[in-house]
Amino acid sequence: MESARANELDVYEYLNYLLTEIPNSDYLQQPEVLEKYLPWSQELPEVCRLNHNYKKCLK
């Protein structure tokens, strides 16, 4: 979860996304698909990212 925080992700939304999407992916046959779920992936949906106003409050 520290990697998620370091990449400015909303930890709750990120975990929710992972637990919802990964079971439906074909990661056993194509393990490379897991790369899009890593916290630094540019393919993560916006809902997983902290919004700009929230980031200001954290500083």
State the pTM of this model. Answer: 0.81
Residues spanned by the domain of 37: 2-58
Report the 3 state secondary structure along 12-54: HHHHHHHHHHHHHCCCCCCHHHHHHHCCCCCCCCHHHECCHHH
Taking every pair of C-alpha atoms in the chain, what is the biggest distance, in angstroms?
42
Q: How many domains does the chain have?
A: 1
Q: What's the whole-number mean pLDDT along residues 54-58? A: 53
Cα–Cα distance measured from residue 9 to residue 13, given in angstroms and rounded to the nearest whole number: 8
- The mean per-residue pLDDT over the stretch 30-47 comes to 96
Rounded distance between C-alpha atoms, residue 7 and residue 4, angstroms: 5
| Cα 17 to Cα 24: distance, rounded to the nearest angstrom | 11
User: Which band of pLDDT confidence, cut at 50, 70 and 90, is reported for residue 6?
Assistant: very high
